[in-house]
Structure 1
Amino acid sequence: MSDYRLENNEFIIENYDSKAPFTSFLPGLTGEDGIPLWSFYVNRGQCLTSFGIEKKENPIMEFQPAVIAYENTSLKGFRTFIRKNDEYFEPFSVNYDAKVKRTMRIKANSFRIIETDYTHNFKTEITYFILPHEPFGALVRNVTFTNLGEEADFEILDGMSRIIPYGIPGTKFTTMANLMRSYNTVSNLKNDVPLFFSRIESDDAAEMKENVGGYYYMCFDNNGTICPIYDPCALFENETSLQFPINFIMHGLKFVAGYSQHFTNKISCAFAPVAKKLSTNQNYTLSTLCGFAHNEDFINRLIPHILDKEYINKKLVEADQLALKYTNDIATTTGNPILDEYFRQSYLDNFLRGGYPIVVSGSNDDKVLHLFSRKHGDPERDYNQFSTAAEFYSQGDGNFRDVLQNRRCDIIFHPEINEFDIRQFYSLVQIDGYTPMYVKACTFSVIKNTKRTFINFLMILYYMENLK
């Protein structure tokens, strides 16, 4: 059986971490009523190498060019540390000589990685996707641990090696992390969902401005929320290479959980501490949501909603269905399933660059919005400043030629847009024959005299939605 194969709508790579390195991204299809995040992954470690909101200047996990991501993801990405009856091991680790099998299973709008450890008789399965159909954005990470051996006691630490506080621009963190760490603040610990943010804006200006909002990190299981460890010293102490969580290895989970933590002058981490006794073939699932919240009250109000036992499974199904919904335009059934999936993936790539057209009816004429568009900006195209608007009906900027070529089939699949694309692009041609460098997202303005009516209408919609 080939190490690269297609099964149903999943592309499978066996022993993915031993193959030539590659990088890809989650498209972040969250629906018209969802808030997208950008996220990238590589076939190393636990794969997720960076993610954030809107642009790479707002990273939650630091944006890294591909060549650096291949080196760093295993240490500075997501990690899992386990003690089984006091014996330490780390799933997906590069410093690992146990007998293991690792598999990556990629779908259009999600992916998962699976490690079966035959030395410790343990299986770890991790699923990643961007949360759809919600008024808040989140990277979702769902981890299922399965004991394949005899009943044993397990101590688990699972999470991010470091999390960048909101308000620290990506370039400043990359070049001035030693200074930027002094801005770090962690709040909302009493509610077990910490908010990471910079106390003030980091601009070198005469006027100091307070930051509003932060990156939340919410861990939970069937018993409720779990407050993560946020001080890296609790795990690593002075082992600054981050290779081994010395305190956890030497002293166990109780010592780490009881460590006197501090966030000042430190780059925080976020590790959920869990102690479980698992019998043979028993599993345990830990879920994590990480994204942006405007304030503590906003995320705290959402906790009961998120803790529903079927919430994560339901949202994963919705995320996968969104990819099918938007690519059904080109759904093809031939004698070759690989070709059928190729059509879908090519179409998805096209509308992620050119936008997915929808018609908005107006009183005088119809308008066309191109949703989900964004400029190339993955780790292999690190020179581009991409934008993925963190809002409903999300759009982004694009290079003129990219947007133009990726809308070439719009009229075939969406004849309802009529001559919109032709009019738009011809109207952008300058008198000297040149075209602009960029095509920006469409914006709509509210007529001044109707502003209050419009705001009242939005408030009514909001309250009606919350009464459901």
Structure 2
Amino acid sequence: MPKQENVIKKPTYQLNSRGEFTIENYNFSKPFANFFPGIAGTYGIPMWAFYVNRGQAIISMGTKDKDHSIMEFLPANKAWQRVTLQGFRTFIKVSEGRSEHFYEPFHNGFINLDFSLSNRMRITSYDLKLSEENYSLRLNTEVEFFNITQDVYAALARVVTITNASRRARRIRVLDGLPQIIPYGTANLFLKKLSRTIEAWMSVRNLQKGVPFYKLDVDPTDRPEIVHIKEGNFYLCFINQNNKPKIIRPIVDPETVFGPVTDFSCPYHFLHAKKFIHPAKEITESKTPCALSPLEADLSPGESLKIFCLIGNMRSLELLNDSIARIASEEYFSQKERENQALIEGLQKNIETESSSRAFNLYAKQTYLDNILRGGYPVTFKAGRHNSVFYLYSRKHGDLERDYNKFHIQPSYFSQGNGNYRDINQNRRCDPWFNPDIDDENLIYFFNLLQTDGFNPLIVKGTSYSLRDRSSFEPVLMSLVPNQEQAQRLLQSLSGTFTPGDVIFSIEENKINLSVSYDDFIAILLTHSFKIQEAEHGEGFWTDHWTYNLDLLENYAGLFPEHLAHTLFEKRVFTFYDSVEVVSPRSQKYVLYAGKPRQLHSVAADNEKREIIAKRTSQPHVVRTEYGKGEPYQTTLINKLLCLFVNKLASLDPFGVGIEMEANKPNWYDALNGLPGLFGSSLCETFELKRLALFIKKMVGSGRIERIALTEEVLDFLRELEKLLQEWLIGQRQERDMVFWDKSYAAKEAYRQRVRLGVSGKEQDIACADIVSVIDRALEKIEAGIQKAKDPKKDFYYSYFINEVTDYETLGDNRIRPRAFIQKKLPLFLEGQVHALRLAENHAQARRIYEATRKSPLFDKKLGMYKVTSSLASMPEEIGRCRVFTPGWLEHESIWLHMEYKYLAEILKTGLYDEFYRELKYLLIPFQKPQKYGRSILENSSFLVSSAFPDKNLWGNGFVARLSGSTAEFLDIWLRMNAGDRPFFLDAEGKLNLRLSPVLAGWLFKKDRTYSFNFLSSVLVVYHNPGHKNTFGKDGVKPHKIILTSETSQQYVFESDTIPSPYAQQVRDRRIRRIDIFLK
């Protein structure tokens, strides 16, 4: 046998013909971390599973959260180190005559140095495949992983195939599985800090059935009441023998396999035994167990041994044993493999794209899927004329590199999870364009989480429901459940709050028979229920969260232009979130810390509010009338927008430049966590305040209405700011911004105190002309501040500022009252240029900003990409953690993909189409070189290492996988490339029209001269471009003929670039199957 064959081999990357991203010799490629989608279908139980490109890949998995692991959650750096020991293992002894060889596939350690090997990893959106050829032993091994979907339990399926590639028959002995499996009930804290102690609670049951059930018998929490644990993790292994499944009972005591080798590096007893068999005795308690299945097989040339494994969680031992006969079959595995693929590809079909670039087409699908994982997937329940929208699959972006996040994936049907307000809001931005049934659902949802102070809770939980009127639903339920006793039992379970998953679980566990399908039952139930927005304060208040509501509003206006006025001015369904936490007044948070003025402890819990909210039996976190004592206050969207406007206008810093970080947190750029303490402010939100002001002005100044009703407290606040703006206009330039800051802040504090417990509920009219007048004055002040932040010579904008207190009055207890400030600019950030582009008034201004940015230190010339910041070396460490990071890494001078994509999107929106396509080839991930990117070019990363980083080998390498806001930006880009800006519009008669105006480069058209995509998820649009020309620019081609094909195959032809009414409505209703558009 040749020696020293398994030397380091150069990895290669490719996108194969099946759309799989393949890495040859992946054990020697750049390390990365990734994950399965964790989507199990509407009636399935999801599992989280994380993998790395080492060993057998899977390193951590479980249900719900880190406290419900089956394999311990490990951060990425530890995962790369431990996967080859703690992950799945396959030990093989190969016998040929008298010789015997030991081999462990997919392991690049010393034990395999004598073998000539090659291996590969194949990644898709729905599964993972590994394969290895041992040319020395002529043995091939394949492993496939996928999630079980649409079933009553959560599990990872694993199929191992070992093939004799030699010309001789040989015997193989195999030991396959996990060297360590975590019993259910073992919280992450115990694994990390008390892993030895917690073993005393561990046990393994059900060995007599051959399918071990791993659990703690009782909750180990130290408390007087004992809580018994029913759930458990399980390991099922079987092979096919004589066309029947044969269950292989795994060994559960790791000592009987590894003996004295406690690090699992060598299966000591398996290696030394001539014939390794099940140990006569295993210790099944008080130690961390394993799941290793012993097998033997005589393989003829070309013959394979196929091992089927399920590793998962069951709600009870009884459910496990009742399920064994059903799930232990190759047919079941094949069915679930197909279901899993169909489920994921079914979601991705909504963004089906057929361009000349296969990488771009597949990237769009992957990005759409990843957007769902963070924002959720809307499903519509229809009952009569009523639509109920429910979001499935959303979760906080937890993975091996985001080890800091406490993710939560509900282990139930209709699974949903927790997330941050900003993240979910952004990732749902384009959802109506994929499912118009959403209508104004997200507008209502996110605007209703805004408080009267313009802030919002951080943590957005899943949606729950409560019956509107139990007595009116009872007869409906009786008609749906034939057995009246069962109906009463089900009605009782609906007495509090519930989720759709809870309801179906209750139906199944109580064996309740329905006269309709589950989907129909949920649809009817939701029409008789009201939605509860579950949220938690979390920590502090960010300055930017409100701005993403403007994106939602603009998207809604683009899709439903005829509904906008009604939604803004007439629909009284908007409420205010009532939080226990409030922003502290200046007198409490302006302090001396280590002898220096600081803004600290800016948010505090209001105990009086806590008591009031705790006593509410319904919708506790909705602001009440009568200052907290009355009914939930409902109002209009325009009222909420003006409430936002006054709060943010009164939050401009002492120089009128940035919005103050007054509540413990910065804005989108979280890594400036120290800036709020330095009285920091952000220009980015000032731009957004201008955007808000312009939108309100446009809507109230349209002449459609003359007066609107405002919450009286908001109107009084507005009137006070109107006076201050007048004073500012005539004030001395050296002092007027400071005076406005002090007085507007005082007005804001008075307003906050007034609405602390609620609002009066009274509304007063104001003339629209008066609102426009106030906004015009505000815009003058806002624009003056923006100009201060602009570099007059280079046309770029500074984004962030330290407002240093230079003079103050002491108030006692280390509290101060500032008298004077100086403003210090932080170095350049890409974020400021993004907002500046968004508000550019014309192409010329947009081009100046673009060219200035490209010439600035933000542009990484070596990569041709844009850094999130320029160098922060000149700044004090007090600005935040970004200052401590090595340049080029994390948020300091790296290529932060989300912000770079925001910038790319704004280039497209402003009509700089040539510039957009110049940048696209360098910035978009599917066009990266995989050797440099270090992972699949179909998947986003949070950041790429820039050329500012000292290690050149990492330049352009992507880190922190997939669940990034970049997915939302790409969907926005994709929509605008394919359909143009605001394709739906109202004609002079107020009728709905549709004009698709693609912005597509000629090279994106296929050889057959077409480019196609799914519009609104299911309307196939095909562009015909005989000359392969751009659809923009001086010589660009434009639509001139349109053919619509209806669901019944009837065709409508328009010699025009516009689809008129009523056909535009039919397209939006998705009653048109196909649109062919001819370009010339």
Residues in 2 aligned to 1:190 and 1:381: alpha-carbon distance in whole angstroms: 40
More off after superposition, 210-219 vs 454-463: 454-463
Query: 1:54, 1:387 within 8 Å by CA — same for their partners in 2?
Result: yes
Corresponding residue of 2:62: 52
Q: From the superposition, tell whether residues 157 and 2 of structure 1 become closer, same or farther in structure 2 (CA, over 3 Å).
A: closer
- Which residues of 2 match residues 26-425 of structure 1 at below 5 A? 26-85=36-95, 86-95=100-109, 96-97=112-113, 98-149=115-166, 150-223=168-241, 224-254=246-276, 256-361=277-382, 365-425=386-446
Offset at residue 33 of structure 1 (A): 1.3
- C-alpha distance in 2, partners of 1:316/1:142? 11
Q: Deviations over 1:377-424 (max 9, x none)?
A: 101101111111111111111100000110111011111110001111
Q: Which residue of the partner structure matches residue 17 of structure 1? A: 27
* Distance of 1:461 and 1:219 partners within structure 2: 34
Cα distance in structure 2, aligned partners of 1:136 and 1:419: 35
| CA deviation after TM superposition for structure 1 residue 29, in Å | 2.1
TM-superposed CA distance for 1:126, in Å, is 0.5
RMSD: 2.0
- Report the secondary structure of 2:368's partner residue: helix
Say which SS state the counterpart of residue 353 (structure 1) adopts: helix
CA contact (8 A) 1:234 1:259 kept: no
Distance 2:515 2:174 in 1: 41
Tell me the secondary structure at the aligned position of residue 230 of structure 1. coil
Q: Is the 8 A contact 1:253 1:273 kept in 2?
A: no
Consecutive aligned runs of 4 or more in structure 1 exceeding 6 Å deviation? 462-465
CA distance in 1, matches of 2:278, 2:22: 37
1:28–1:109 CA contact under 8 A, matched in 2: no
Q: Give the structure 1 partner of residue 13 of structure 2.
A: 4
Q: CA deviation at 1:112?
A: 0.6
**Paired letter, 1:193:** V
**Distance of 2:280 and 2:15 partners within structure 1:** 47
In structure 1, how many angstroms separate the alpha carbons of the residues matched to 2:59 and 2:445? Answer: 37
SS in 1 for 2:354: coil
In the alignment, is the contact (CA less than 8 A) between 2:239 and 2:308 conserved in 1?
yes
Equivalent residue in structure 2 for 1:453, among 466, 480, 487: 487
Query: How far apart in 1 are the matches of 2:154 and 2:221?
Result: 26
Distance 1:78 1:308 in 2: 21
**1:316-355 CA distance string (max 9 Å, x none):** 1211111110011100000111100011011111111000
How far did residue 294 of structure 1 move?
2.2
CA distance in 1, matches of 2:382, 2:445: 18
Task: Tell me which residue corresponds to 1:436.
Answer: 457
Following the alignment from structure 1 to structure 2, what is the Cα–Cα distance between the partners of residues 412 and 269?
Answer: 48
Q: Is the 8 A contact 1:102 1:116 kept in 2?
A: yes
SS of 2:225's equivalent in the other structure is coil
Structure 1 window deviating more from structure 2 (173-182 vs 205-214): it is 205-214
Does the aligned pair in 1 maintain the 2:89–2:178 contact within 8 Å? Answer: yes
Q: Specify whether residues 413 and 141 from structure 1 end up closer, same or farther in structure 2 by C-alpha distance, changes over 3 A only.
A: same
Query: In the alignment, is the contact (CA less than 8 A) between 1:229 and 1:271 conserved in 2?
Result: yes
- Shift in Å at residue 460 of structure 1? 4.0
Give the distance between the partners of 2:105 and 2:345, measured in 1 at CA: 32
Greater relative contact order, per chain length (Cα 8 Å cut-off, separation 6+):
1
The one-letter code matched in structure 1 to 2:200 is S
Question: Could you tell me how far 1:44 is from its partner in structure 2?
Answer: 0.7
For 1:261 and 1:460, locate their aligned partners in 2 and report how far apart those are by CA, in whole Å: 42
Displacement of 1:267 in angstroms is 0.7
- 8 Å contact kept, 1:155–1:252: no
Normalised TM-score (structure 2): 0.42
Q: Is the CA contact 1:29–1:109 (under 8 Å) kept in the aligned structure 2? A: no
Report SS of the residue matched to 2:154: coil
Shift of 1:365: 4.1
Larger helix percent: 2
User: SS at the partner of 2:191?
Assistant: helix
Shift in Å, 1:260: 1.8
Partners of 1:292 and 1:282 in 2: CA distance:
33
Q: Deviations over 1:138-173 (max 9, x none)?
A: 111111110112211111010011001111101211
Q: Helix, strand or coil for the counterpart of 2:405?
A: coil
The answer to whether the 8 A contact 2:420-2:459 is kept is yes
SS of equivalent residue, structure 2 residue 194: helix
Q: Cα distance, 1:286 vs. partner?
A: 0.5
What is the one-letter code of the residue matched to 1:29? I
* CA-CA distance at 1:187 after TM superposition: 0.7
Distance 1:82 1:463 in 2: 54
Deviation of 1:265 (Å): 2.2
SS at match of 1:45: coil
Name the larger-Rg structure: 2
| Amino acid aligned to 1:156 | V
**Distance across 2 between alignment mates of 1:312 and 1:363:** 38
**Aligned partners of 1:2, 1:136: CA distance in 2, in Å?**
38
CA distance in 1, matches of 2:409, 2:64: 4
Instruction: Letter of the 2:248 partner, please give it.
Output: I
Q: Secondary structure at the match of 1:440?
A: strand
Q: Equivalents in 2 of 1:196, 1:253: separation in Å?
A: 28
Relative to structure 1, the CA distance from residue 416 to residue 355 in structure 2 (aligned partners, 3 Å threshold; closer, same or farther) is same
1:295: Cα distance to partner?
A: 2.1
Q: Residues of 2 paired with 1:463 and 1:204: CA distance? A: 46
Q: In structure 2, what residue type is equivalent to 1:197?
A: K
Q: CA deviation at 1:364?
A: 8.3
Q: Which amino acid aligns with 1:100?
A: L
Q: Give the CA deviation at 1:454.
A: 7.0
Structure 1 distance, partners of 2:462, 2:488, is 22
Secondary structure of the 2:107 match is coil
Within 2, Cα distance between the matches of 1:279 and 1:55?
A: 45
Q: Shift of the alpha carbon at 1:257?
A: 1.1
